Amino acid sequence: MASGRADGTYLDSLSMFGIKPGLEATAELMRRVGNPEKGLAFLHIAGTNGKGSTGAMLECMLRSAGFTTGFYTSPHLVDIRERFRVNGLAVSAEDYEAISAELAEAARADTGRNFTFTYFEFTTVFAAMIFARAGVDVVVWETGMGGRLDATNVVRTLASIITNIALDHQAYLGDTVEKIAAEKAGIVKPGIPVFAGSMPDEAFRVIARKAEESSSECFRIPAGIPGPATYRFDGEKTVQEFDFEGRRITLPLPGAMQRRNFRLAAEVVTRLAPKLGLDLDRAFAGLADCRWPGRCQQVSERLIVDGGHNPDGISALKEALAEAFPGEKFAVLFAGFKDKDVAGSLRLLAPVAARFVFVPLAESDRPSYSGEELQTLAKEAGITAETTAAANAAAGLELAARDEKHRTLVSGSLYLAGEVLSHTQPETAILNLV
């Protein structure tokens, strides 16, 4: 995937995968455009996995309760405009081009301070501009990576939310869950409540200590998972239903991990409801319309698309498959970046894979495995299922779909999920959450 269909010239010149830890450049660019973030209320979300799903639930609940919402998330699946949604709708192409040009002019301005800006710093400031001009009530604001030095960490917040902690981005965040937790705990602000999801005790202790140092209340969701759940496919999506604190919850995102994410989102809205004047009945009822493309998404009767890209995410996918499709095996279409634990992900997928079809990731300036390299990696990892390499996602999807005995499961990367969805879904179904 390139930087995105709607990208302007300036943003095209920036590497999507350029990483420059630190807040000074983002703060400077915010200043150049009048500090649009200062008039906004943010729910700041960090975590190894589950940020987007938890954010999608929070956005849906707030919108259903009558709030005007902004939702900033990354990466995008197909079009960069997915990163910037107001009331569930992606920013229009016209607004994107106009505000992008305005921000590019500010970024190029010679202030004598010799700042350069990364792709993510640019999109973060762009998001604040969009939401300020839309006059949103609450922004659901997702970190890119880490927290302490993430470009999003230049705002004052209503809540700091950390979904979970697992090993990922170790070159930047550290090689233990404690080190990674310390980076993500960097979003904790003095006196602002902290909400912690499912994570190892050693990671939570780091977050709780940071909260205590900041005089912030810290809420950890209970270890149990709401449920059990019942499942149905309504012709468009897989829906799970379960009971929670006297309410029957309908959630069109399958799996136990999504119930964990729900439990975290529920804790946040329940604790903040008195301050926000939020109608909880409307908020919880609204979850029946929650959408989050590319996350264990049943696109059709025979196609499931998931963007899980590390062992923790693949484990969550397997939980969801075991509940929604008990006992089934799948024809797995798989791709992966070279900076991920692809061998670990393949070993986890092996028990549910009738066969693998491996493909490279297209249009990326980040190194990914070829189909043939993935075949070698699978063999070295002890995978015994049949493996095939295809030239690209479209060819691989066609090859996997020929297996009439098994549904097709897409996994390994959000970028592969985006490629497949671009072939199988209308653009508006990916851009918009309503």
* pLDDT tens digit sequence for 357-415: 999 998 667 889 999 999 999 999 999 999 999 999 999 999 999 999 999 999 999 99
Higher pLDDT, 102 or 22: 102
Length of the chain: 434
Considering the domain delimited by 297-431, tell me its CATH architecture: Alpha-Beta Complex (3.90)
Compare 167 and 366 and report the one with higher pLDDT. 366
3-state secondary structure of 426: coil
Q: Quick check: 2 pLDDT over 50?
A: no
State how far the alpha carbon of 278 is from the alpha carbons of 136, 216, 232, 281, 285, in Å: 15, 22, 30, 9, 13
Inter-residue contact 174 to 181 (CB < 8 Å): no
Task: Write out pLDDT tens, residues 304-325.
Answer: 999 988 888 899 999 999 999 9
Q: How far apart are CA 431 and CA 56, in angstroms?
A: 13
Domain boundaries, the chain: 9-289, 297-431
**9-289 CATH fold:** UDP-N-acetylmuramoyl-L-alanine:D-glutamate ligase (3.40.1190)
DSSP 8-state class, residue 289:
G
- One DSSP character per residue, 15-77 reads -TT-----SHHHHHHHHHTT-GGGG--EEEEE-SS-HHHHHHHHHHHHHHTT--EEEE-SS-S
Is residue 132 scored above 90 in pLDDT?
A: yes
First and final C-alpha spacing in the chain: 24
State percent of the chain over pLDDT 70: 93
* Of 43, 96, 77, 42, residue with least CA distance to 292: 77
**φ, ψ for residue 388 (rounded to 5)?**
-135, 145
pLDDT in tens, 326-341: 999 999 999 999 988 9
Any idea what DSSP says for residue 240?
A: E
Contact between 18 and 111 (Cβ < 8 Å): no
pLDDT band at residue 420 under the 50/70/90 scheme: very high
* pTM of the predicted model as reported, rounded to 2 decimal places: 0.92
Write out the DSSP string of 123-189.
HHHHHHHHHHHHT-SEEEEE-SS-STT-TTTTS-EEEEEE----S-SHHHH-SSHHHHHHHHGGG--
Mean pLDDT of 196-215: 96
Q: Is residue 5 scored above 60 in pLDDT?
A: no
Mean of per-residue pLDDT scores for the chain: 92
Tell me the C-alpha distance between 292 and 21, whole Å. Answer: 28
Residue 113 has pLDDT above 80, yes or no: no
